[in-house]
């Protein structure tokens, strides 16, 4: 069986690490990796391939730093060329980025079977580019691997029971990674206090709205007077902060870090504040409370169970959530599977082929 894996952005490298390790155990599967180039800086891309021991991409398309249309369009053209040459049995895509959508469109037009990992998630906010990408990708897939019960339920509500598509609850591949990489965590060399908050911000809904971004940083600057905030800064956010000359003086801003350092930061922080999708779950994996700087989340089970507080970009709400935050309250829950999602995904693909 020949799988063509499409990767392009940081969270996809992290998710694919676990699945690629699983594929490597099966002699009956060959994986060809296409890196679209959506993320291209060394610390947004290469470091993950090295640390996670993902095989070097067979194809590097070099399509990054462009508008949605230019990026997705050029990816479609190039991925199509690769598919025509490689003739895979499956195209495999992860998550909800423009690279995901490009891979989905090519596979569906060429009648190649499409597997979507992290399917069924919804924010119900159609202004998010990710929401559009995930809805369109789900709709043209043959097999949908859902990380949560909510994701399965979302698809049911959209009528997927009546479609010729296999919906499988696989659990979350990020859980697999968190377990695997925990023992490999690496401490950073920057000045870190005993008690610190880990923060990341990169979502378009925050970076592309000056009022939201300013409110968030005003609140962070205030909190940082009391508790150190370490913020590995995404290049998109860095660019806009510089343009708007937003004050970050109280924050410990560092370049994006590799995953092994990130795991150390998550494991050792006292609180996570983020607008990242992946980091909301990782906070839970490492038993940390999370304050989410968004108006809604796809990971609703974290909010419902009291592990995550949604505060949007509201200055008062951010401060209040910080002031009232408590220690993580452990509960016997299995929200994201037991860390064997990759194994399940590969087994199901092999069964599908029979």
Q: Choose the stretch contacting ligand UDP; rule: CB under 6 A; options: 7-15, 64-72, 137-145, 237-245.
A: 7-15
Tokens describing residue 259: 């995953």
Contacts of range 123-129, beta carbons closer than 8 Å, 24 or more positions apart = 123/296, 123/297, 123/298, 124/296, 125/205, 125/295, 125/296, 127/205, 128/203, 128/204, 128/205, 129/68, 129/98, 129/204
- Of these residues, 35, 116, 202, 234, which one is catalytic? 202
Count Cβ atoms within 10 A of the Cβ of residue 67 and give its class: 0-12 exposed, 13-18 middle, 19 or more buried. exposed
Q: Does 134 bind ligand UDP (CB under 6 A)?
A: no
Under rule CB under 6 A, residue 60 binds ligand UD1: no
Lookup: tokens for 124: 């119900």
- Residue 129 binding target from ligand UDP, ligand UD1, none, CB below 5 to 8 Å by type: ligand UD1
Which positions from 236 to 275 touch ligand UD1 by CB under 6 A, shown as an x/- string?
A: x--x------------------------------------
Residue 127 CA to residue 139 CA, distance in Å, equals: 18
Q: In what order do the strands lie in the sheet with 2-7?
A: 59-60, 30-35, 2-7, 90-94, 113-117, 143-146, 166-169
Which run of H or E residues covers position 5?
strand 2-7
- Using CB under 6 A as the binding rule, whether residue 256 contacts ligand UDP is answered as yes
Helix or strand run (H / E) with residue 20: helix 10-24
CA pair distance 285, 271, nearest whole angstrom: 13
Answer yes or no whether residue 315 interacts with ligand UD1 by CB under 6 A: no
From the list ligand UDP, ligand UD1, none, partner contacted by residue 259 (C-beta under 5 to 8 A by kind): ligand UDP
| Nearest distance from C-beta of residue 44 to ligand UDP, angstroms | 8
- CA-nearest of 202, 20, 214 to 117 is 20
Least spacing, CB of residue 77 vs ligand UD1, in Å? 17
> Pick from 3, 14, 20, 39: which binds ligand UD1 (CB under 6 A)?
39
State which of residues 18, 276, 308, 342 lies at the interface with ligand UDP (CB under 6 A): 276
Tell me if residue 202 is catalytic: yes
Q: 168 CB contacts (<8 Å, ≥6 apart)? A: 143, 144, 145, 146, 344, 348
| Token reading at 189 | 């060399």
Interface pick for ligand UDP out of 6, 14, 79, 231 (rule CB under 6 A): 14
Nearer to ligand UD1 by Cβ, of 17 and 64: the residue is: 64
Q: Please state, in angstroms and rounded to a whole number, the distance separating the CA atoms of residues 55 and 32.
A: 9
Q: Using CB under 6 A, which of 116, 122, 134, 202 touches ligand UD1? A: 202
* Window 116-145: contact mask with ligand UD1 (x via CB under 6 A): -------------xx---------------
- With binding defined as CB under 6 A, does residue 281 bind ligand UD1? no
Q: For the window 192-231, what string marks contact with ligand UDP as x by the rule CB under 6 A?
A: --------x-x-----------------------------
Cα–Cα distance for residue pair 47/16, rounded to 1 Å: 14
- Binding residue for ligand UDP (CB under 6 A) from 232, 312, 337, 339? 232
Q: How far is CA 42 from CA 10, 112, 255, 282, in A?
A: 11, 32, 11, 23
315: partner contacted, choices ligand UDP, ligand UD1, none (Cβ within 5-8 A by kind): none
Beta pairing partners, 116: 93, 144
Secondary structure of residue 84 in the 3-state scheme: helix
Footprint of ligand UDP (CB under 6 A): 10-11, 14, 200, 202, 232, 256-257, 259, 262, 276-279, 282
Footprint of ligand UD1 (CB under 6 A): 9-11, 38-41, 44, 64-65, 96-98, 129-130, 202, 235-236, 239
Catalytic residues: 202
């Amino acid at each position: 069986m020949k799988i063509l894996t499409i990767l392009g952005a940081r969270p996809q490298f992290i998710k694919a690490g676990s699945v690629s390790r699983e594929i490597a155990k099966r002699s009956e599967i060959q994986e060809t990796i296409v890196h679209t180039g959506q993320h291209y800086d060394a610390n947004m891309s290469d470091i993950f391939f090295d640390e996670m021991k993902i095989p070097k991409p067979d194809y590097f398309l070099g399509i990054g730093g462009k508008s949605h249309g230019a990026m997705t369009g050029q990816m479609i053209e190039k991925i199509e060329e690769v598919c025509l040459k490689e003739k895979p049995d499956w195209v495999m895509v992860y998550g909800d980025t423009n690279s995901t959508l490009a891979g989905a469109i090519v596979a569906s037009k060429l009648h190649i079977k499409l597997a979507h990992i992290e399917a069924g998630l919804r924010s119900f906010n159609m202004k998010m580019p990710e929401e559009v990408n995930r809805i369109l990708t789900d709709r043209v897939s043959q097999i949908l691997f859902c990380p949560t019960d909510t994701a399965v339920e979302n698809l049911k509500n959209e009528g997927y029971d009546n479609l010729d598509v296999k919906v499988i609850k696989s659990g979350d591949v990020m859980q697999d990674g968190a377990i695997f990489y925990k023992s490999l965590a690496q401490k950073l060399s920057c000045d870190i206090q005993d008690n610190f908050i880990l923060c990341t911000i990169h979502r378009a809904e925050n970076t592309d709205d000056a009022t939201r971004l300013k409110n968030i940083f005003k609140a962070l600057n205030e909190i940082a007077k009391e508790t150190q905030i370490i913020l590995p800064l995404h290049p998109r956010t860095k660019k806009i902060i510089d343009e708007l000359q937003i004050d970050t003086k109280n924050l410990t801003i560092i370049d994006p870090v590799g995953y092994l350092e990130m795991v150390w930061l998550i494991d050792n922080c006292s609180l996570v504040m983020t607008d990242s999708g992946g980091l909301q779950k990782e906070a839970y994996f490492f038993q940390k409370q999370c304050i989410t700087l968004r108006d809604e989340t796809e990971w609703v089970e974290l909010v419902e169970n009291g592990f995550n507080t949604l505060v949007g970009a509201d200055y008062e709400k951010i401060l209040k959530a910080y002031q009232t935050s408590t220690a993580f309250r452990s509960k016997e829950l299995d929200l994201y599977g037991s860390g064997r999602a990759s194994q399940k995904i590969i087994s199901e693909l092999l069964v599908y082929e029979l």
